[in-house]
Structure 1
Amino acid sequence: MSEIQTRAGGCLCRAVRYETKGDPFKAGLCHCADCRKVTGTAFLAYADWRPEMFRYTGEVQVYQGRSFCPRCGSRLFSLSEEQAEVYVGTLDVIPSGISPGVEAWVKRRESWLPPLSGIPQYDEDPPKAGATG
């Protein structure tokens, strides 16, 4: 019987720590304006777990659904009833073993940044699971 993988991460000052269990159900890159502002760079690398597979300790502040450390300012994750979206750069072990499965808002991707090959590319948001049309 194999052991469920656990990943840990947190903020720069270590006041906030989190842990995920198992593999994410979704991972990707997003080039939208909000994600670029949140990260201060050209895109956000994220991985999503079900809420029951995520826990954190420490105090966070939340702005528009995005949690960050009030002490050092590190942006960490976004929580909702459907998912815990972790910002991959905040994981402790890098490389993380998490590969993007989708690239979104590619119409805003920097021209010097090549597309990731072999994964779906979307000009804006990808369709929701189960959506048709």
Structure 2
Amino acid sequence: MSDTIRRTGSCLCGGVQFEVHGAPLRIGLCHCKDCRKASGSVYSAFAIWPREAFETTGIVSSYGTRSFCPTCGGRVAWVDDNEAEVMIGSLDVAPTDLMPEYELWTSRRETWLHALLGTEQFEHDRPTANAAELPPPRPLSDAVAGD
């Protein structure tokens, strides 16, 4: 992906709009309780950009680290000093070319969902260590059989 890529998105009512520029740092799926409750779905699909690549307009409310539109309740982003996490479903153009690279909280994945082929599988949170220090991902055959 090129750094010149510009993607736009919004909440459900359009009162909060955002833009992200360039390639995301990483793309994933999460099955944790917080993502399930916040989305109302059995997992969330998201992409994370550097904080400086994210811009927003409109008024947002927040609950913990999650921001949302106070009018429609639509999730906008999770933003800290370094990164901005955007739900892939909130982007204006669908389908996108954003393919998940990993799954989080697979220990909570529904039994009728299978591991996404070709992705790293993490039973809980993704380790934050330097990638060179990370243990190798579980083989996909173990992730499917063990979860």
TM-score, structure 2 length as denominator? 0.86
Which residue does the alignment assign to 2:54?
Answer: 54
AA in 1 matched with 2:12: L
- Is 1:93 the equivalent of 2:96? no
CA contact (8 A) 2:3 2:23 kept: no
AA in 2 matched with 1:98: L
TM-fit CA distance, 1:40:
0.5
Q: Which runs of 5+ in 1 are unaligned?
A: none
Which residue does the alignment assign to 2:33?
Answer: 33
TM-fit CA distance, 1:6:
0.4
Alignment partners' CA distance in 2, 1:129 and 1:20: 25
AA in 2 matched with 1:22: G
The one-character-per-residue Cα deviations of 1:14-42 (angstroms, maximum 9, x if unpaired) are 11000000110111000000110110000
Alignment partners' CA distance in 2, 1:3 and 1:68: 27
Which residue does the alignment assign to 2:45?
Answer: 45
Map 1:1-133 onto structure 2 (within 5 A): 4-130=4-130, 132=133
TM-fit CA distance, 1:66:
0.3
RMSD: 1.4
**Aligned to 1:78, what secondary structure does the other structure show?**
strand
CA contact (8 A) 2:4 2:21 kept: yes
TM-score, structure 1 length as denominator? 0.95
Superposed structure 1 runs of 4+ greater than 4 Å apart = none
Identity %: 45
Aligned length: 132
Alignment partners' CA distance in 2, 1:70 and 1:11: 10
AA in 1 matched with 2:120: P
Alignment partners' CA distance in 2, 1:113 and 1:42: 9
Larger Rg: 2
TM-fit CA distance, 1:96:
1.3
CA contact (8 A) 2:3 2:22 kept: no
CA contact (8 A) 2:3 2:21 kept: no
Kindly indicate which of the two structures has a greater share of residues assigned to helix. Answer: 2
**Aligned to 1:96, what secondary structure does the other structure show?**
coil
AA in 2 matched with 1:15: G
Q: Which runs of 5+ in 2 are unaligned?
A: 135-147
**Aligned to 2:112, what secondary structure does the other structure show?**
coil
